[in-house]
A and B are shown apart, each in its own frame.
Chain A
Amino acid sequence: MEALGARRGLLISAAVVVALVVALFVWNQEQALVIGVLTGSAYGLVALGLVLVYKSSGVFNFAQGEFGGVALVTLYLLHGNGIPYGLAVVGALLAAILVGVLAEFIVVRPLFEAPRVTLLVASAGVALLAIAIQVWFFDSQGRSIAKAFNRTDRLTVLDVQIADQRLWLIATLVLLAVVLGLFFTRSDLGLAVVGASQEPTATELVGISVRRLSTFTWALAALLGGLAAVIAVPHNASFTPGVMTSVYLIPAFTAAVLGGMTSLPGAIVGGVLVGILQSVATSAPIFQDGGALAIPGTPGTLIVFVVLVAVLVVKPSGLLGKVA
């Protein structure tokens, strides 16, 4: 029965994707497809971290964006002071992990038994605090970080150039999804994490420390957040405090929900879908001023919202998620 449901979910998603692609070509918006994959891969990477935390502690982690923010600031400082790029990236990721562990220690542990929504609010508090400290110590000026890879013309799809930095992002994303998927289904540690989220008492009885697993999970999520920021943001030439939360976090949440909060590949699929939706909404003439369905302001926001609500009403477990 469950296999049937899962297969049905896969079929539905495949059908949706095919329909979307065809529609885009018909409407001359095929470039939106490519642009959507590019921007969506960033959302997907952040969404991976969100799904990870949800799978293991049932929490919507609002601080996921700011784990990345910390990494960005660290990278900027280290690289700006002359440290070679590779080392600076490692340092940035370590800083992110540190913050993740700190957050877990100070906020998640005391609230272990509390309702999940309380934890959501608490994580939002952590994110806000992180942003406030950034503004305090660095003011709101934009800053720029150099890219890791500078070449931009290696690959061109449908007339859209794909920079090496973007390729790095997509490669990391796919690699991580595969590794994490294997981790959660094949390795002992991964199984323990999933088990701890579903049956904490039983897990403790078997001798596994649920608390230690929680720390590990949050450290891993922080690492993912840091990776997302460090790879995706330098591509855009400048960042301001709070950019990870204001620009990436909400589409990432939508992506995670779309794909299914319990499904890692779903996070990627969701991310790409959200990217494409945003891109189409922005460039399709039908949504611009004067079009038949003209949407004031940023059309992408409304479209994403409508899709989110539709998914939650029709199939709350998302495209690839399993019914809990």
Chain B
Amino acid sequence: MTRRLVIMLLPLAVVAAACGQKSGVAGTDAAASEDSGAPAATAAPITAAPPVAPAASAAPAAAATTAAPGATAAPAAAATTAAPGATAAPGTTLSSTPVTGSVAESTGATTGTEAAPASTAPAAPVGPYEAGDNDTAGVTDADIVIGIHAPVTGASPIPQTSFDTGKDIYWQFLAANVPDQLFGRSVRVVFRDDEFNPQKAVQVCREMVEGEGAFLLVGAGGADQITACAQYAAENDIPYLSAGVNEGGLEDLSTYFATSLTYAEQAPLIVDQLSSAGATEIGLVVADTPSFDDAYEALQAAVEEAGLTIAYETRINKTAGEAEQLSVVQQLKNVNATAVVLLSSPLVFIGLSNQGVNQGFTPTWIGPGVTSGLNAVTNFGCPGVDTGTFFNPTPQMDVIDTLDPQFTAAYAEFGGGTAADDIGVGLWSLNKLLAMMFEATGPELGRAAFMNTLVTSPGFDNGIYSPVVFTADDHFGGTGAHLLDADCAIKQYTTAEQFVEVG
């Protein structure tokens, strides 16, 4: 019987394989579009400043829009103060602090028109990106689809309910209050769990793009997963944004954009903190995934430059167990480290710090964000994490109201009873940034146009992140971070310093 099965199967398979090609169903089949780099039409000509949001204070639009060659993403800056503390009504300003910077950027010809108020102008900004076959996948006249992936299960879990509620709140708020900011489109957010596993991350990213039709992808956390998915995105000309993580493996990807400081960029900030705290014996513990190699070297270099010495350094397993944690803590204790620079997953941080407490060893644990600075960590990591202090793209719940009062109000209206939390802050800021980017790109929204906007804009400032600036050569857009301090008395992180900028 098996023989019959095999004999029937083989020729059929061969025949069918030959015919298999014609069934390229969805146009979004990224795999089938081998020629995705083909210079297709669209590459729009010139400038005409893409319209600033109509509800906006018109002043910015009229002001000198320095037309950088090709596009303007209505940097409109001059009028509005760039003060980060300014409560900017959403949809208005794309206030960019580096105003002077943008003048410098517009090298050469201000091609053609300035500040044409028109909303009808063919607004596609010109830049290094050319539209391919699937340039407008995920965008219709009615909506834009965004795909986010994050670890909800696995070694570094983020609470799912916070995510489920938080991802939509900004868009609901925008639809209710400033419906025209996105030129009549609404935003649909698709979310997938990547199980803290790069292979799965690539898979869910494909699902979101090919199955759900995502226009762009966002990685919410997990350096290895972000790297893997960003590689997939770059191969398929899909914009990919994430918080800053490693640089190795990401710096050559044309469609990757980091919206906050990378680990390596945060190294000098960390060392500054150490110097000003007068730390003497310093320990350095970094997870041993190769993605973190550049961060490890940057940290070593920064410490050396500041004239401090590392008393003990080691690479620790990504999912270090109790035995390894105990060993590392013991070594740190033996050199009497007063501060330990740590770059690892939150679970390892919790393990290390608590083993430290068990050994009577309580140094300052300091490091770059993003996931270690979450309240989920203080929730069950106390008392060990009490001496933890981490940099983070967003501030904590204690100051968000001064930076953006709409946040709490929106949660109250659209949250359906779920309390606002720091994950909500992160999602709100991210979505706000995306909204600014969409607005700057204009009504003719496509992947190439979007990315052109990113690299030609003087910058985006949503008031919560430090301003985000991209250039064609530098896709690491962070300019500063907030310093968070764990407080086990209230089992939360508080914001110790805001907008610590890279010097």
Contacts and interface: CB of A to CB of B under 8 A. Distances in A.
Direct contact of A and B (CB under 8 A): yes
Interface string A205-249: 000000000000000000000000000000111101000000100
B261 to A, nearest CB: 27
Contact of A144 (B160, B355, B381): B381
Contacts of A275: 323
Given A140-B153, A235-B358, A236-B351, A247 B322 contact: yes
B347 A159 contact: no
Contacts of A81: none
Given A142-B347, A236-B322, A288-B314, A279 B357 contact: no
Contacts of A142: 157, 347, 350, 380
Interface string B406-442: 0000000000000000000000000000000000000
A35 B323 contact: yes
B321 A247 contact: yes
A163 B358 contact: yes
Nearest to A152: B358
Interface residues of B, number: 34
Nearest to B319: A298
A135 B160 CA distance: 13
Interface in B313-367: 314-315, 317, 320-324, 326-327, 330-331, 333-334, 347, 350-351, 354-355, 357-360
Given A31-B330, A236-B354, A300 B323 contact: yes
B128 interface: no
A289 B289 CA distance: 13
Chain B CB within 10 Å, residue with most, of A32, A135, A159, A236: A236
Contacts of B315: 289
Contact of B330 (A139, A238, A283): A283
Nearest to B314: A288
A142 B317 CA distance: 19
Contacts of A300: 323-324
Contacts of B159: 139, 141
A152 B329 CA distance: 15
A275 B323 CA distance: 8
Classify the interface of chain A: helix, strand, loop or mixed: mixed
B355 to A, nearest CB: 7
B330 A160 contact: yes
Classify the interface of chain B: helix, strand, loop or mixed: helix
Contacts, number: 89
Contacts of A279: 323, 326-327
B380 A237 contact: yes
Contacts of B467: none
A155 B330 CA distance: 15
B376 interface: yes
B360 A161 contact: yes
Nearest to B354: A237
Contact of B355 (A159, A236, A289): A236
Contacts of A163: 358
A153 interface: yes
Interface residues of A, number: 35
A317 B355 CA distance: 36
B154 interface: yes
A160 B355 CA distance: 11
Nearest to B321: A247
B386 to A, nearest CB: 12
B480 interface: no
A173 to B, nearest CB: 16
A297 interface: yes
Given A160-B359, A161-B359, A161-B360, A139 B160 contact: yes
A140 B380 contact: no
Contacts of A258: none
Contacts of B355: 236
Interface in A271-313: 275, 278-279, 282-283, 288-289, 297-298, 300
B327 A140 contact: no
Contacts of B324: 282, 298, 300
Contacts of B384: 237
B175 interface: no
A38 B325 CA distance: 13
B31 to A, nearest CB: 32
Contacts of B351: 236-238
B189 interface: no
Interface in A75-114: none
Contacts of B320: 298
B380 A238 contact: yes
A283 B350 contact: no
Given A238-B347, A238-B351, A159 B381 contact: no
B350 A141 contact: no
A39 B160 contact: no
B116 interface: no
A278 B321 CA distance: 10
A143 interface: yes
B154 A140 contact: yes
Contact of B380 (A32, A139, A143): A143
A192 B317 CA distance: 47
Interface in A101-153: 135, 139-144, 152-153
Contacts of B279: none
Nearest to B325: A236
Contacts of A139: 152-153, 157, 159-160
Contacts of B152: 139-140
A140 B376 CA distance: 13
A70 B315 CA distance: 34
B222 to A, nearest CB: 14
A135 B323 contact: no
Interface string B253-268: 0000000000000000
A135 to B, nearest CB: 7
A216 to B, nearest CB: 32
A167 to B, nearest CB: 12
B317 A297 contact: yes
Contacts of B358: 152, 161, 163, 235
Interface in B295-315: 314-315
A146 B169 CA distance: 36
Give the top 7 A-B pairs by smallest Cβ distance, nearest first: A237-B354, A144-B380, A283-B327, A140-B153, A278-B323, A282-B327, A161-B359
Given A140-B154, A298-B320, 10 more contacts: A35-B327, A36-B323, A139-B160, A141-B376, A236-B351, A236-B355, A238-B351, A282-B323, A289-B315, A300-B324
15 contacts: A31-B330, A35-B327, A39-B323, A140-B154, A140-B157, A141-B159, A141-B376, A144-B381, A161-B359, A163-B358, A236-B355, A237-B354, A275-B323, A298-B317, A300-B324
